[in-house]
Amino acid sequence: MEIASLLSPSTVLCNQESTSKKRILEDISEHIHSAFPYLSDSTIFSALVSREKLGSTGIGNGIAIPHCRMADCKEITAMLITLANGIDFDAIDNEKVDVIFVLIVPEDANENHLKTLATIAETFSDETILNNVRQAQSSQALLQAIS
């Protein structure tokens, strides 16, 4: 599976401004709710924050992959965001995060969840893809960079 297949123009945001991990998770929750109205923004936010409490999803090299499983989620839902300025995300390497790939999966999709997380991490380990993502200046260019 290519992670680009999980994205659409409405779930890709380029060069966003944010001041904190909490604020970006709030923004993500609101944006996903607007794209998928059956998912509650408060439920998304709570699920993402609960997952972060288990350990940061900042995987290093400026990348975070906030993820959770939700009962109301009908299909794998994803969002890609680049930030104009990195934010503290409690990443394992203590570096600021500027690339965020969000993954929300149905509650019973454990195997798909793990496979998709592995694919996301593998994709972002490719320096060419990561550089293209960081250099994108529009959401359309960002979507093309991840494809």
pLDDT at residue 141, rounded to an integer: 94
pTM, two decimals, is 0.94
- Is residue 90 predicted with pLDDT exceeding 90? yes
Over residues 38-65, mean pLDDT: 95
Cα–Cα nearest to 144, from 1, 12, 17, 10: 12
Q: What are phi and psi of 105, to 5 degrees?
A: -125, 160
Catalytic hit among 31, 33, 67, 113: 67
State percent of the chain over pLDDT 70.
99
pLDDT for the residue 111? 72
Domains recognised in the chain with CATH numbers: 3-146 (3.40.930.10)
Confidence check: pLDDT of 43 > 70: yes
DSSP string across 30-78:
HHHHHHSTTS-HHHHHHHHHHHHHHS--EEETTEE--EEEETT--S-EE
Active site (annotated) includes residue 67 = yes
Q: Is 121 exposed, middle or buried (0-12, 13-18, 19+ CB in 10 A)?
A: middle
Mean pLDDT of the chain: 92
> Distance between alpha carbon 27 and the CA centroid of its chain, in Å?
11
pLDDT in the model for residue 74: 86
At 2, the pLDDT band (50, 70, 90 cuts) reads confident
Q: What is the average per-residue pLDDT within 110-126?
A: 85
d(CA 28, CA 14): 13
Distance CA 37, CA 8 (A): 15
